[in-house]
Structure 1
């Protein structure tokens, strides 16, 4: 009897010490409500500027972006209908960053081409990075060559901790993969900035270079990616007005819904910006793209993008586009794929190219 009583007491104590649920955590935390879309475009325009300013503040004290003169072409291959260049630049924050540039033979200073900034995914594939552009590990086709053959100049770089930057963090080669990513996150927090801010900063540096290329029509730029690449894409659209369209596959959800679904574990440390939910949720970031063309494609079984959050974003952001007039409504699409998890379907790729052709390629 004594043993049974002790066991019951221990069981009771364990239950009392159980970790609180997400709802309990949220109930004791002041987070921002869903974005309230104002009644007029003039009020939204002012609010938009305030949101972008706050995002810049939350990303931290980022070093100035290096000039386009920091870029070098270090290799060039003739691939028939396009050339494949390897570029690099000193990012001014302790790293040499490399990327791939695909230039159609039809693109010249006299016949400028549209361009796409390609953002690779995460997937725990730290050795891949820019290599994703010539592989099918994340996409149903090799996106770099495929988009070049479709007439686009395409640029993609290694994000921090990926590709040739894997093992190049502050702890050096002894910290690769997820350990290197964690080290980079720690360093940046101590430096008063975020790893995510540095990721977006490097993407905007790549955008600077892409717009400067003599073969590129800087008025016709798109940005795309899947998963982490999707998030990178909608943040680029939020923080810079130069891209005129984006296609984002996966990683569309409100952070509150992500917490309630118990899926914070679905995203690495790179993803988190301190103080974000004190100010607004992700719909406020995505809404900054309006009225430029934005296509989201999300599987309703994608655990890292709880579909309730994706639908709520669609409703809220759709209202922002409506402020810009009836014509703007067609420039935002939130496509939900029933029964689909975190994958990039061939039909999604076809829709990506169609979207870019419609909103980027056309003058």
Structure 2
């Protein structure tokens, strides 16, 4: 009779045993000695399993230009071959005279799919109250994309798949009952009303399993779609005349940390990365915490080849920082520390220990002002 307990009952120990100890393509395997050959093989397998949709660079439209918060801001859009137009903002210091380092700032998930890039920028004094509260609770009251732009970076923030301008719109859905979400049938159909936003976010959370299953049936994965869209944004950022394409970084909290793991691991145009609030092991998700995480996290079969932190470790010896919160409800602290040790081992084996840094901060899931300062200093050091 099974005595082990987990979020999948007595099957936990068995499921955990399926991935065993060190996965087959881990750089930690003693028999793997050639860094470049290993990385090429491991990236190829990861890309195969991600099965990203093909990319084509879109035409970028400048919708509006203005100055706010001491920054020059451009509101941009581009049309991908699927879905509605992507909205984005580019922030830069005023009066640029030479190319600057650049950051692709990756917005979070936070159970708020109604918003995308707007969650980490501020472009006007009359900010939506939902965004004001979100930045207060998760970001120390700051729009972190603005704050790093002020330090001398060109920053691009874009809506990604199923968020903000790229969200699933109720008028585009067929075959599901939207119920109270169908605000077109209400006398007050303002989608920006906080109660309508809350209703949409609740529905969008419940819709995730539908989207994920449909993506699997289409032969792709949610991380693969994220990677494709983030690489397109990186293409756009790299071709800006104000940007030094050899000094580009990325980072983000939570869902932005997840996107950092895949983008920084697989696209080495990212010369420096900061992953905030999204680091643990597959084992933690098997036994303890998969229920706290979005369907956007998972690439089927990849755990046979790499542990979760080793996706980010594919960028070794390029620099990376991981920031963890000690009381983060999305992970267990022992598994966060195991993930940290895995990355330490990978970087040590590549003789690049100085390029990896992890931080632990008291408090729940967040990217507060202390963490932002440490992250921005890391970008300054390497970019």
TM-score range, shorter chain: 0.7 to 0.9
Considering Cα pairs closer than 8 Å and 6+ residues apart, tell me whether 1 or 2 has the greater RCO. 2
Q: CA deviation at 1:90?
A: 1.6
The reply on whether 1:70 has 2:94 as its aligned counterpart is no
Moved more, 91-100 or 29-38: 29-38
| Cα deviation 1:144-196 (Å, max 9, x = unaligned) | 22122111110111121111222248627958522443333232112100122
Label 1:102 to 1:40 Cα distance change in 2 as closer, same or farther (>3 A): farther
Higher Rg of the two aligned structures: 1
> What runs of 5+ residues in structure 1 fail to find an aligned partner?
1-17
Q: CA deviation at 1:31?
A: 5.1
Counterpart CA distance in 2 for 1:33 and 1:80 is 48
Counterpart CA distance in 2 for 1:41 and 1:104 is 45
**Residues 1-363 of structure 1 correspond to what in structure 2 (within 5 A)?**
20-26=9-15, 29-30=18-19, 33-34=22-23, 35=26, 37-38=28-29, 43-60=34-51, 62-67=52-57, 69-79=58-68, 81-108=70-97, 111-134=98-121, 136=135, 138-140=138-140, 141-168=142-169, 171=173, 174=178, 177-260=204-287, 262-325=288-351, 328-337=352-361, 339-360=362-383
Is contact 1:38–1:44 with CA below 8 Å preserved after alignment? no
Is contact 2:249–2:272 with CA below 8 Å preserved after alignment? yes
Counterpart CA distance in 1 for 2:19 and 2:316 is 28
- Measured on the aligned residues, the alpha-carbon RMSD in Å equals 2.5
> What runs of 5+ residues in structure 2 fail to find an aligned partner?
1-6, 122-130, 179-199
| Cα deviation 1:16-52 (Å, max 9, x = unaligned) | xx96335244167455635352559852321211111
Instruction: Detail structure 1 runs of 4+ shifted over 6 Å in the superposition.
Output: none
Counterpart CA distance in 2 for 1:105 and 1:27 is 53
Q: CA deviation at 1:243?
A: 1.0
Aligned to 2:128: none
Is contact 2:85–2:165 with CA below 8 Å preserved after alignment? no
TM-score where L is the length of structure 1:
0.85
Counterpart CA distance in 2 for 1:144 and 1:233 is 15
Label 1:25 to 1:225 Cα distance change in 2 as closer, same or farther (>3 A): same
| Cα deviation 1:53-96 (Å, max 9, x = unaligned) | 11111112x332122x5222112122263211111112223332
Is contact 1:37–1:44 with CA below 8 Å preserved after alignment? no
